[in-house]
Amino acid sequence: MNNNEQTRPLFRGELALAIAVALNSFGVVLMLYSGSGISAISSVPYAFSEVFPFLSLGTWTYLFQGALILTLMVLRRRFVAPYLFSFVVGFVFSQLLDVHEGWIDVLPTSLGWCVVYFIVSYLLLCFGIALSNRCRLPIVPTDLFPRELAQITGLPYPRIKISFDAICLTVTAGMTFLFLGHLKGIGIGTVLAALTMGKVIGIMGAWLDRHFVFDIYHRKTKV
């Protein structure tokens, strides 16, 4: 550990991952509840849940996450065992989506509150993803995919994240318009988040790096 790292407190990766899953699952549902549209990372499973409602949003999210993990293994041209733990994290995330959907209706829905919900959900998602990118553990597949793709391609994470979100929104728009006859789940908040979230995650990540050292329990940090 260098002198700069010695002056920063340790942030356990296990705690960072738990916080990230809690924040992101609530952020996704809160953004949808705000009426501004769902977050880009959950827009594709949301579209499937609307077009094929026999499965819940949480279940479609889990299936979508599985497709992302499979894609990463194809791109790496090998079986990556740690990716399997992402299924566990993804399952918890998916179940929390359904839990939050079950109680979120108790919140007021006036315009002012909806604006607050969007701002809070946007910041929660950005901070949660920034945390998950530093936890040193397998993370929710929708967050893992752009992080690993940036590593595979060598392209900057913000560029990959914004492109990934844009593709998700395009698929969502196409599905809902084709099968439902109108766009659903995509609002001004969805587009704004897709175009800016990658940059904000980078800014929050840089702030975290300046203030904390991230490590996991089984790693022995050298002093």
3-state secondary structure (DSSP) of residue 188: helix
Q: Which residues contact 173 (CB under 8 A, 6 or more apart)?
A: 183, 186
Q: Give the torsion sign (CA, 209, 213, 218, 223).
A: positive
DSSP 104: G
Per the CB < 8 A criterion, the answer to whether 212 and 8 are in contact is: yes
For the chain, the domains span: 19-215
Mean pLDDT over each residue of the chain, to the nearest integer? 86
Predicted pLDDT of residue 190: 82
> Model confidence over 145-203: pLDDT tens digits?
998 999 999 998 888 988 998 899 899 999 999 999 988 888 888 888 878 888 899 89
Predicted pLDDT of residue 223: 36
